[in-house]
Homo-oligomer: A and B are copies of this chain.
Amino acid sequence: MAGQGESGDRAAAGGGRMSRRSGAMRDEVIAFKRERILEEAAAAFYEHGYQGTTLEAVATRLGVTKPFIYYHFRNKAEILSEICRRGITEAVAALDAAQAGEGTPDQRLAAAIEAITRTVLEQQAYTAIYFREEKNYPADDAVELNRRRKAFDHKLSALLEEGVAAGVFEIEDVRLTALAIGGMISWAFTWYNPRGRLSTAEICRRMAGLVLRMVRRPE
């Protein structure tokens, strides 16, 4: 069955006639398949929980057989790890971009908050699974995911500290404030409704506004 998936990839890539381009296409198709498996697995874990979802059920959602999934992922735990890695990796990247970016500390903080909020909203199922399924992380991944979460808190604290040093922010307790901000944003996975009152962009803008009010030095 895995072999069949393989020849399917090659057919899609044009039967190997143009070897460089077909190699690229083959990688793209594999990446596309992995992505679709992750998407459907995330939707299933989100609805029924990780333990309540079988790979059989994920295969059915995709209209494929279980061996097709096993060709792309070692097991259900590897799929969970990959899903959980997404959100936190993007959130940390948003903070790195803010750190390296131009503008005043409040402009950079606002940009970071908007980017992180967007990640949480657009990857609502991934974010929910990341937090809900903590007890199901494989042990090795738990350590790594925990390390990334700590990195997130440290980088956010560093961004706040910078604003304090520049005299733009006034913060009694930088570490607690970073945790409070992280909670405000992460939590959005619990209440966000894609068909709700506000657009994604508007929610991101308002969240950044709330954070700035919390940290800006009063004029």
Contacts and interface: CB of A to CB of B under 8 A. Distances in A.
Given A49-B51, A135-B132, A179 B206 contact: no
A183 to B, nearest CB: 3
Interface stretch (A2-10, A27-35, A210-218): A210-218
Given A176-B206, A187-B182, A135 B213 contact: no
A102 interface: no
Contacts of A90: none
A144 interface: no
A133 B197 CA distance: 27
Nearest to A209: B172
A77 interface: no
B210 A214 contact: yes
B135 A48 contact: yes
Copies in the complex: 2
A166 interface: no
Contacts of A133: 132
Contacts of A198: 173, 176
Interface of A: 47-49, 51-52, 131-136, 153, 172-173, 175-177, 179-188, 190-191, 197-198, 203, 206-207, 209-210, 213-215, 218-219
Nearest to A198: B176
B176 A183 contact: no
A180 B218 CA distance: 21
Contact of A177 (B134, B182, B210): B210
29 contacts: A48-B135, A51-B52, A52-B135, A131-B131, A131-B132, A132-B135, A172-B209, A173-B198, A175-B197, A176-B198, A176-B203, A176-B210, A179-B187, A180-B184, A180-B187, A180-B207, A180-B210, A181-B184, A182-B187, A183-B184, A183-B185, A183-B186, A184-B187, A187-B187, A210-B214, A213-B214, A213-B215, A214-B214, A218-B219
